Amino acid sequence: MLYIYILLIGISCLPLLFFLIQRTGYQKIIKEGVQTTAEIKKVRTTRLFRGPTFDQVDFWYLPQGANQYRSGTFNAKPGKYKVGDKRDMYYLPHKPEKYYVPESKSAKWILLITLALIAFVIFACFKIDQMAGL
């Protein structure tokens, strides 16, 4: 039974692991990357099935020393950006296709949800073990 508990807790930690790996990648881009200004080219509002509404923002930027624009996408609150707006962003100089747009991800909510999931699974394993011992 102990192995099942360890497996359940391990599986519940996977989203946190993915989040931390992605977050360290973003921190690397901010630390080693070059800051530039991107121009917003297209904004389309998307609504998930029975869920929230958000804008998918397409932008392009010109890496230093390049003569060809790169493009990217990020999600934002509806109505926050308009076509033609400028936005600061970071990219890696040796890999300009890897970019990060600050404040485009709601990391604190993802972190709280994953921690709540882990706490719930640990609590559930504890309660199941308590009930099985009766």
* pLDDT tens across the length of the chain (134 residues): 889 999 999 999 999 999 999 889 989 999 999 999 999 999 999 988 888 899 999 999 999 888 899 999 998 889 999 999 999 999 999 999 999 998 755 678 889 999 999 999 999 999 998 998 75
| All structural domains of the chain with their residue ranges | 2-132
Strands 70-76 and 53-61: antiparallel
C-alpha span between 52 and 3 (Å, rounded): 38
Q: Element (H or E) spanning 88, and its range? A: strand 86-91
C-alpha span between 32 and 91 (Å, rounded): 8
pLDDT of residue 134: 54
Residue 13: burial class (beta carbons within 10 Å; 0-12, 13-18, 19+): middle
- Name the pTM for this structure: 0.72
Which residue type is seen at 83? V
Dihedral pair phi/psi, residue 79, rounded to 5°: 80, 0
pLDDT of residue 120: 97
